[in-house]
């Protein structure tokens, strides 16, 4: 939800909550300001005759907004899976960057954002760690991730990867699910947030019978954030700014999924 006071947008950009709307309306009534809520655009328009209204309303609302932010994802358990790790570097970019490093950095940034909003985050790995058991097949490598997710009692599971193709031209973002209705919804929100923010080619949300999607017991998605094999997207994936945008987008998709 956005708040516009006398034509000026407040810097805060909170999601709609009924509490905030009620707080906002009673505050406006108290101060004799006019309010109009546009439910389609999720904007509250506030009209006031006071010239310093923007700072006044910010001062009054910011503590409320901050408190709402900090508890937005309270009680939610989110399992984040940074793809690959250790000896398994994942795909390599044309200039030698590794998928395992990108996925871990994005996962750590996402963890921070989720925790700042009250969520309980479980990571399948928090370092450059190999999740495979020695001498076992690739399925067993993935099963450790599934075990961590299922044991965590998580509400959702988000696996982060980079896509790769033999042609450097291939580009874009894809989010996979295993057909579960809630997983599709989560995938749609995350995919939309990512492609809007990154301006990447929207390859859509797709069904996939990946082991980690099939055997996790909660709504689960696997995000192919962008193509590490594409020189331009390799830079995006390896840069702090790009990683932060990706984490922020996945975070926004999760928040929209939980409707908080």
Query: Residue 49 Cβ, how far from Zn ion at the closest point, in Å?
Result: 57
Which residue, 90 or 93, has its beta carbon nearer to Zn ion? 90
Which residue, 83 or 85, has its beta carbon nearer to Zn ion? 83
Query: Residue 150 Cβ, how far from Zn ion at the closest point, in Å?
Result: 21
Which residue, 205 or 229, has its beta carbon nearer to Zn ion? 229
SS (H, E, C) the chain: CEEEECCEECCCCCCCCHHHHHHHHHHHHHCCCEEEEECCCCEEEEECCCCCHHHHHHHHHHHHHHHHHHCCCCCCEEEEEECCECCECCCECCCCCEHHHHHHHHHHHHHHHHHHCCCEEEECCCCCCCCCCCCCCHHHHHHHHHHHHHHCCCCEEEEEEEECCCCCCCCCEEEEECCCHHHHHHHHHHHHHHHHHHCCCEEEEEECCCHHHHHCCCCEEEEEEEECCCHHHHHHHHCHHHHHHHHHHHHHHHHHHCCC
Query: Residue 149 Cβ, how far from Zn ion at the closest point, in Å?
Result: 16
Which residue, 54 or 149, has its beta carbon nearer to Zn ion? 149
Query: Residue 88 Cβ, how far from Zn ion at the closest point, in Å?
Result: 9
Query: Residue 221 Cβ, how far from Zn ion at the closest point, in Å?
Result: 14
Which residue, 85 or 90, has its beta carbon nearer to Zn ion? 90
Site for Zn ion in 75-134 (CB under 5 A): 83, 90
Number of chain residues interacting with Zn ion (CB under 5 A) = 3
Query: Residue 90 Cβ, how far from Zn ion at the closest point, in Å?
Result: 5
The residue within the footprint of Zn ion, chosen from 72, 111, 145, 161 (CB under 5 A), is: 161
Which residue, 106 or 255, has its beta carbon nearer to Zn ion? 106
Site for Zn ion in 194-253 (CB under 5 A): none
Query: Which stretches of the chain bind Zn ion, using CB under 5 A?
Result: 83, 90, 161
């Amino acid at each position: 939800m956005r708040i516009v006071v006398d034509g000026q947008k407040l810097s805060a950009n909170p999601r709609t909550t009924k509490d905030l709307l009620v707080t906002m309306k009673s505050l406006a009534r108290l101060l004799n300001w006019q309010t109009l809520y546009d439910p389609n655009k999720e904007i509250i328009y506030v009209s006031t005759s006071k010239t310093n209204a923007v700072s006044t309303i910010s001062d009054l609302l910011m503590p409320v907004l901050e408190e709402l932010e900090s508890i937005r994802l309270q009680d939610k358990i989110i399992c984040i899976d940074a793809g690959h790790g250790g000896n398994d570097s994942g795909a390599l970019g044309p200039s030698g960057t590794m998928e395992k490093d990108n996925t871990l950095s994005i996962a750590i940034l996402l963890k921070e954002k989720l925790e700042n909003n009250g969520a309980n985050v479980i990571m399948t790995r928090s370092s450059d760690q190999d999740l495979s058991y020695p001498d076992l097949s690739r399925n067993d490598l993935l099963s450790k991730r599934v075990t961590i997710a299922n044991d965590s009692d998580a509400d959702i599971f988000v696996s982060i990867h980079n896509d790769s193709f033999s042609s450097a031209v291939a580009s874009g973002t894809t989010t996979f699910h295993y057909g579960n209705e809630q997983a599709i919804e989560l995938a749609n929100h995350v995919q939309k947030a990512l492609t809007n923010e990154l301006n990447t080619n929207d390859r859509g949300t797709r069904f996939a019978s990946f082991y980690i999607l099939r055997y996790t017991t909660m709504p689960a998605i696997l995000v192919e954030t962008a193509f590490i094999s594409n020189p331009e997207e390799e830079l995006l994936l390896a840069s702090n700014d790009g990683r932060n945008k990706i984490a922020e987008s996945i975070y926004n998709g999760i928040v929209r999924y939980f409707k908080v």
